[in-house]
Amino acid sequence: MTLYWRIFLLNAAVFLAAILLLLGPVTVSTPVLLGEALVLLAGLVVMLIANAVLLRIGLAPLARLTRAMATADLLRPGGRAPVTGPGEIAELTRTFNAMLARLEAERATSSGRALSAQEAERHRLAQELHDEVGQTLTAVLLQLKHAADRAPQAVQVDLRQAQETTRDGLEEIRRIARRLRPGVLEELGLHSALRALTTEFTTSRLSATTHITPGLPSLDPATELVLYRIAQEGLTNTARHARATRAEVHLRPHRDGGVSLLVRDDGHGIGAAPEGAGISGMRERSLLIGADLTIGPGPQGGTDIRLHVLGSTADPRTQENPR
């Protein structure tokens, strides 16, 4: 029975019962007596309560579906509304769940294309920084050295200072190029790339360390890149916003044959702050490889970023060479 007919028959039954009572034992005098007025008032209250209760029961599946629609998040896939209620509400819920599944698949596909294009653009920029700007600054550095060796003593100090400034600029260009394109990941593997990453983020105010558990399964290049980028984004957020003194990156095998990545700091945590573009980017990357990403407070404060790569992505039978 459709929702329309359920509500219609409910109200028809209530009004029919009222008419039968008025035609039968219940009568109304003119003027209305106090006892009759009380009976009518009690009947009205009973009718309203019955309508309210039955309508709430009948429309409860719609309320659940509304909550599911309001809380649906394509960056947290898998959530579905329970299929309950009469025929048309159940069909509406099934249609919504199917639409949500299609949107999640389309979002994952479009995010994959966008992130692939982003990585290609990063590769191009890193190459141009290294080949064009880096070589130009190297040539300037050599020219300054040549000029400083032949300049008068009064000018040499300024030229040496210009050399140091140019050398610092060249190191900054190389550092930016390494962040844009992790060459160490391609050349030496994920283990060395994570260790180099934490070394890069270690400063006088932040101590970053890497802890890698032996026995990790082999990973495909796309999974390694996602692990590296999420660790990089987590350390970047720690250095910029957490006011932390210690950060740790843990990479360990999971009991289901997959891999777990943990980025932990001792900062002030994220609290109730809304998720920014960095965290959204991490969620999109985790969707590319079907991994589970959770971000929350650590056991002793700070923030924990956990990424679980399922066993179907990593083959536990092949051990990765810790390059």
**Domain-wise residue ranges, the chain:** 3-104, 182-323
pLDDT for position 247: 93
Written as one letter, the residue type at 200 is E
Whose structure tokens read 């400063």? 203
The CA dihedral of 84, 87, 90, 92, to the nearest 10 degrees, is: -150
- Residues 177-184, mean pLDDT to the nearest whole number: 74
What whole-number distance in Å separates Cα of residue 26 and Cα of residue 39? 8
Mapping DSSP onto H, E and C, the string for 73-91 reads CCCCCCCCCCCCCCHHHHH
pLDDT given for residue 31 in this prediction: 75
- Number of neighbours of residue 60 by Cβ within 10 angstroms: 13
Three-state DSSP string of 192-213: HHHHHHHHHHCCCCCEEEEEEC
Contact 128, 173 (CB under 8 A): no
Identify the band that residue 22 occupies on the pLDDT scale cut at 50, 70 and 90: low
Burial of 42 (C-beta count, 10 Å sphere; 0-12/13-18/19+): exposed
pLDDT score recorded for residue 322: 40
**Confidence check: pLDDT of 192 > 80:** yes
Q: Hey, which of 13-27, 112-126, 143-157, 209-223 has the most confident mean pLDDT?
A: 209-223
- For residue range 203-249, list pLDDT tens digits in order: 888 999 999 999 888 888 888 888 998 999 999 989 888 889 999 99
- pLDDT the model gives residue 317: 38
Residue 292 burial by Cβ neighbours in a 10 Å radius (0-12, 13-18, 19+): middle
Confidence of residue 189 (pLDDT cuts 50, 70, 90): confident
Q: From CA 173, how far away is CA 163, in angstroms rounded?
A: 15
Q: What are phi and psi of 17, to 5 degrees?
A: -65, -40
The dihedrals phi and psi of 299, each to the nearest 5 degrees, come to: -65, -25
| Mean pLDDT of the chain, nearest integer | 80
Say which residue, 41 or 323, is predicted with more confidence.
41
Cα dihedral value 119, 225, 192, 123, nearest 10? -10
Answer CATH for 182-323 from 3.30.465.10, 3.40.50.620, 3.30.565.10, 3.10.20.740:
3.30.565.10
> How does residue 318 score in pLDDT terms, banded at 50, 70 and 90?
very low
User: Which pLDDT band holds residue 28 (cuts at 50, 70, 90)?
Assistant: low
Q: How confident is the model at residue 149 (pLDDT cuts 50, 70, 90)?
A: confident
Mean pLDDT of 134-159: 84
pLDDT-based confidence at 154, cuts 50/70/90?
confident
State the Cα–Cα distance between residues 21 and 73, nearest whole angstrom.
Answer: 53
Question: Cis omega (within 30 of 0) on the bond before 31?
Answer: yes
Whole-number pLDDT of residue 25: 65
- pLDDT given at position 323: 42
* Average pLDDT, integer, range 300-314: 80
Element (H, E) at 70: helix 34-71
